[in-house]
Chains A and B, each alone.
Chain A
Amino acid sequence: MEQTRNLDPRIRECIRKRGFAELSEIQALALPQVQAGKHLVLIAPTGTGKTESAMIPVFDALLRERSAGFSALYITPLRSLNRDMLQRLSWWCRELGITVGVRHGDTTTTERRKQALSPPDLLITTPETLQALFMGKVLRKHLRNVRYVIVDEIHELASGKRGAQLAVALERLAEYCGEFQRIGLSATVGNPDEMGRFLCGERDFSVVQVDVTKHLELSVEFAGDSFEKQARWVGEAIDRHESTLVFVNTRVTAEALGHQLFSRGDVEVHHGSLSRDVRIDAEERFKSGKLRALICTSSMELGIDIGHIEHVIQFGSPREVSRLIQRVGRAGHSLYETSRGTILATGFDDLLESLVIARRAKAGEAESVHPPVNPADVLANQIAGLAVEYGRISRGRIRNILSRCPAFPSNGNLIDRVCAQMAEHRLIRLDGDEVITTLRARRYLAANLSMIHDERKVQVFDMVSRRTVATLDESFVVGSIYTGAVFITKGQLWRVLDMEEGRIIVEPARRVKGELPSWEGEQIPVPYAVAREVGRLRRTRSFQSYGAGEVSGQFASGFLTEMDRNRSRVPDDTLIVLEGGKEGVVCNCCAGHRANEALGRAVSVLLSARYGTTVGIEIDAYRILFQLPSHVGTAEVREALSGLDPAHVEGILQIAMKRTALFKWKLVQVAKKFGAIDPDADYERLSSYKLIELFENTVVQDETYRELFSVYMDVAAAGRILAHIRDGSITVETGRISLLGADGLFSSRDQIPPPLADHAVLSTLRRRIEGQEIVLACMNCRKWKSRTVAGRVQDHPVCPRCGARLIAVLKPWEEEQYAAAARKEKSEEEKTAEARLLRNANIVLSGGKKAVLALAAKGVGPEIASRILATLAEGDAFFAEILKAERNYIRTRKYW
């Protein structure tokens, strides 16, 4: 064992006892680097001895020199990983006489007290508990001598706000104990250097990487598009191997597949909604060989040790390359063994996507991780943390600490804005340049250690059946639920009757027109690059070169041949096809979920502004469905799409997003992190539309937009598609709805509200006017009148008696005027009335139905009606004219 020669003999003994003949590749690479005291990022799949490669040299150093308090911190994103690490490292620590402890949310008070009195050398913890360590005086003292910090699953943390929070925490730690050695462990990512910068900031670091792709054996299969066939295929595949992990993308699929395979008796389901005991039991039984297969969601992606896995099945496209590498990486691994994985594709899009992702995985083209830049709510959280930690701290010092974190580049002005906002919520006090803690700040911090949004669940109680029918996420409740609202959950319609502490009282609703908010949870988005390559594959049809098998290859080319036979153009990476159908217009655009989301929303805003209608959209990675009224078709969508300037997309989206449930949900989350809203706040005190007003033009609103535009949609990628349309490298064609356009599961539903709030007013007005009772009266023969409602009148009403089109429109209470007009002898007053009726009828003669509607409005007589008709306004604009006339009438009305 050449590489271990300069290690402490006790460590070499341990390595021998563990039965390692030699170090694994990653261990051999990492050891000298860690020993040399370098900051390091280790990139290797789970199960390759990554943890040991970091810890063996750390143990070695601890044997030589230990100090009071914690010497090393091992940080993982999950409590379950903490427990797993404790098990793995306990053996080493026992053998070496190093003390080890774990501390996280589940740790008992006794254990915590023990740690405070005699801190272990090595503390395994989560980023959130690290935050808590800064709060206590005693624990803070124990942080004085930290010399090593190991961050596990760093790719998982770096991509979100938890990572930004951790990065600041590491700099806060450095304020206590000076510089320490930083070691990050990561799964395969497209940008390893970014992981290093995330961990170390401006400090020098090295990256040690094991090439997983050469040990990856991937295939893509297709077993028909019925779920029963697919489940049968999974069953047979399980039989072919000793142990199998079956990854699915949603909990619902996990349950459904489990249901099909339970009768075998050797399969269990494992996902986040199950209780911890059930999950641990399944893990144990799998480890001991009692189970042959586990059906799991991303819960099994991270490195929890469940023993040897021979084969990994990915049910349906993995959506992302890194996800596939991570999941399949769970198989194999006694060092150099190959990881074998099979993707079972479930449909056409799914198959092409799987082929593309498998190719990219083998080529090592994992997605890059993009840490958030300047997340203002993390900043607020950390400023509160610093205020509590120091009692009183200058903004200069805060600025200094943050300037070492790459997550907060050029944060000068942002810090001041965030401080001002927090002071407004009385979370901190400001005294010149100083930030001062408050009583509330400590309480806030205790409730907000985590940047993971802690969602409250709200029960839905059905008045009629008197039982709880569902639970909704708080976000949905805040955004879309108010008394009288109708929504969908569990496939049924409900109307909100009342909201009480923590629950919503509903009754079943029966019939509702149009789109409704529904709660179905989130999905994994397909990245832009994958969707573009799927487009290219549609164009080249070179399925064989992508390693498609006979069945899957035939299915894919058969599908496209059918398209050709129907004379449907196949949309690809250079062609967008707009297809008109019953539901609206499908825009086939291979750009991935996030770009399509941005594109779809922006175009729909233009359409609803231009045509004064509400536009519903549904999107997936390859299409956008615009739900449109019949007079808006493919030509109009094409015009909107081609005319959209990439530079305007973000501005348009800012306006559009503000009215969505998603925006409100995010705003509440961010506001909570700013201390404006307590975790147990009583939302009934304030309706959500007012909440939005309260945060208008604040840093809270800016952060909400920042997150929406970087996490939920990809404005930059949408801009690239639009630029391609402009320079002609993507052409836009129109056609009838095709096999491919109608295909695909639309699962992301949202309603795009109209561009003006006025639209709701106009819609209400229009419904009232169309429902207004009126009397049609013939002014030619003067012998026919009929009661009806304005909306039911035909375009040009005709008298059935004499065939004349000279029809006056009267309000029910004006009927007697008509009787008077038919009389031979008339008073002066009656003559005036008759003249007015004639004018009235003349307007209907020339204006038709529009005249009828105008005359049905409150206080609108022939003069005003003809003025309204003279504007030639149509649609919403026409009703806006009526509205103006009514407002005028009300202003001058004398009797109330």
Chain B
Amino acid sequence: MSLGFFSGGPALLVSNTRRVLVVADLHLGIESDMARHGLHFRSRCRERLERLESCIRDASPDLLIILGDLKHGVPLTSRQEFREIPEFIERLRSLVAVQIVPGNHDTGIEMFFEPAEILPKEGAVVDGTGYVHGHMYPDPSLAGLLIIAGHHHPLASLKDEVGCAMRSPVYLFSPVDGECLGFPPGNRSPTRIMFMPAFNELSGYDLVRTVREPFSPISRCARWEAAEVFLPDGTFIGPVSSLEDYGADQEP
């Protein structure tokens, strides 16, 4: 099994016997919610579709898995979403087979997908790799596998000597405590989680904050001391600890 990093997404290509392209957290319809909070921008749905299409062209996958939070409005589906989502999915379907692991924002997603396209929200194993959105306890069948997860929108601040930061969405790769996740004990290989950056370019959540105050079962059970950070193009940044405030004191 190998991973291909498509920084134009960010999207991840998981290749084993099949080629599976994964994207997470598209949050289509985010603009109408932002407008309610005083930020008025036109919808960038079309640009997102173009980005995704170009990833599909470059990766030529057998399957596209949307790792949850395709839509933004929760619990209701906004007018913007009704307008944009059907066409968005139709376009993807014309290029590749599509499946979705529903996320916490995906209430009412059934009206946009065929039943066969919807994977269980507790997660599913596809071609030897586990897929979850990341907001709930994953299904025990995922124990001992590499699990790809969304939901956390990891964002890293990189600093240099002067303290100038570059902020970038990142991948977080971390071993996880299976027992903590309620996985049955056994001598299988350790469970690892690859946290996906959000595909939506407006979303991002500082990963240091997630590490300090984990807000989901998998982030609470992650063994952060052994976690590694990668840029969307696969550049290895280092362990999470290397992102702590540079030069600043850390409490022991």
What residues of chain A have their CB less than 8 Å away from a CB belonging to chain B? 424-427, 482-486, 495, 509-517, 614, 616, 659, 675-682, 685-687, 689-690, 693-694, 751, 753-754, 757-765, 767-768, 771, 858, 883, 886-887, 890-894, 896
Contacts and interface: CB of A to CB of B under 8 A. Distances in A.
B48 to A, nearest CB: 14
B236 interface: yes
Nearest to B129: A896
Interface string B160-196: 1111111100000100000000000000000010100
A686 B34 contact: yes
B249 A511 contact: yes
B42 A513 contact: no
Contact of A858 (B39, B146, B236): B236
A61 B246 CA distance: 72
A675 B40 contact: yes
A771 B146 CA distance: 28
Contacts of A675: 40
A763 B208 contact: no
Nearest to A771: B242
Counting chain A CB atoms within 10 Å of each CB, the highest count among B1, B38, B204, B245 belongs to B38
B238 interface: yes
Given A495-B245, A676-B41, A682-B38, 19 more contacts: A425-B41, A484-B209, A485-B157, A509-B245, A510-B249, A514-B247, A614-B160, A675-B40, A678-B40, A681-B37, A686-B34, A694-B41, A753-B162, A760-B159, A760-B164, A762-B160, A763-B160, A886-B236, A890-B235
Interface string B219-252: 0000000000011011111110011011111000
Interface stretch (B2-10, B60-68, B90-98): B2-10
Contact of B237 (A495, A515, A765): A765
Contact of B208 (A427, A484, A511, A751): A484
25 contacts: A424-B42, A426-B40, A482-B167, A495-B248, A509-B245, A513-B246, A614-B164, A675-B40, A676-B40, A676-B41, A677-B40, A678-B39, A678-B40, A682-B38, A682-B39, A690-B201, A753-B164, A754-B162, A759-B166, A760-B159, A763-B158, A765-B237, A887-B235, A893-B2, A896-B173
Interface string B138-172: 00000000100000000101111111111100000
Contact of B5 (A764, A765, A891): A891
B164 A751 contact: yes
Contacts of A760: 158-160, 164-166
B247 A513 contact: yes
Interface string B16-48: 000000000000000000110111111000000
B163 A687 contact: no
B231 A761 contact: yes
Contacts of A483: 206, 208-209
A482 to B, nearest CB: 7
Given A513-B247, A686-B39, A686-B202, A761 B159 contact: no
Nearest to A513: B247
A883 B34 contact: no
Contacts of B204: 687, 690
Given A484-B206, A685-B34, A760-B160, A693 B242 contact: no
A886 B40 CA distance: 41
B40 A614 contact: no
Given A483-B208, A486-B248, A757-B166, A883 B235 contact: yes
A679 B38 CA distance: 7
A482 B164 contact: no
Contact of B242 (A685, A687, A767): A767
Given A751-B163, A896-B3, A761 B249 contact: no
A764 B228 CA distance: 13
Contacts of B155: 687
B162 A614 contact: yes
Contact of A764 (B3, B41, B159, B162): B159
A711 to B, nearest CB: 24
A890 B4 CA distance: 9
A694 B31 CA distance: 12
A685 B242 CA distance: 26
A565 B158 CA distance: 48
B31 to A, nearest CB: 10
Contacts of A689: 167
Nearest to B208: A484
A758 B164 CA distance: 11
Contacts of A754: 160, 162, 164
A512 B236 contact: no
Contacts of A858: 236
A763 B39 contact: no
A512 B41 contact: no
A366 B38 CA distance: 44
A41 B53 CA distance: 63
A896 B238 contact: no
Contacts of B245: 484, 486, 495, 509
Given A509-B249, A515-B163, A896-B194, A677 B38 contact: yes
Given A425-B40, A495-B245, A685-B39, A768 B238 contact: yes
A512 B163 contact: yes
Contacts of B40: 425-427, 675-678
A764 B158 contact: yes
Nearest to B247: A513
A374 B209 CA distance: 44
A1 to B, nearest CB: 60
B237 A764 contact: yes
Contacts of A659: 164
A730 B234 CA distance: 50
B39 A892 contact: no
Contacts of A484: 157, 206, 208-209, 245
Counting chain A CB atoms within 10 Å of each CB, the highest count among B35, B166, B201, B206 belongs to B166
Contacts of B248: 486, 495, 509-512
Contacts of A894: 1-2
A679 B37 CA distance: 10
Counting chain B CB atoms within 10 Å of each CB, the highest count among A484, A517, A681, A757 belongs to A484
Contacts of B173: 896
A512 B247 contact: yes
A677 B39 CA distance: 5
Contacts of A758: 166
A890 B239 CA distance: 15
Given A482-B206, A682-B37, A763-B158, A687 B167 contact: yes
A678 B34 CA distance: 11
Given A676-B41, A677-B39, A767 B246 contact: yes
A53 to B, nearest CB: 47
Contact of B39 (A485, A517, A676): A676
A387 B5 CA distance: 49
Report the 5 A-B pairs with minimum CB-CB distance, sorted nearest first. Answer: A681-B38, A678-B38, A763-B160, A768-B238, A760-B166
B163 A516 contact: yes
Given A514-B247, A751-B163, A894-B1, A761 B192 contact: no
Interface string B49-69: 000000000000000000000
Contacts of A892: 2
Nearest to A690: B202
Given A614-B164, A676-B39, A686-B34, A482 B2 contact: no
A684 B113 CA distance: 32
A800 B237 CA distance: 34
Contacts of A753: 162, 164
A764 B238 contact: yes
Contact of B157 (A426, A482, A765): A482
Contacts of B39: 676-678, 681-682, 685-686
A418 B162 CA distance: 37
Interface string B73-116: 00000000000000000000000000000000000000000000
A891 B6 CA distance: 11
A689 B160 CA distance: 17
B233 A887 contact: yes
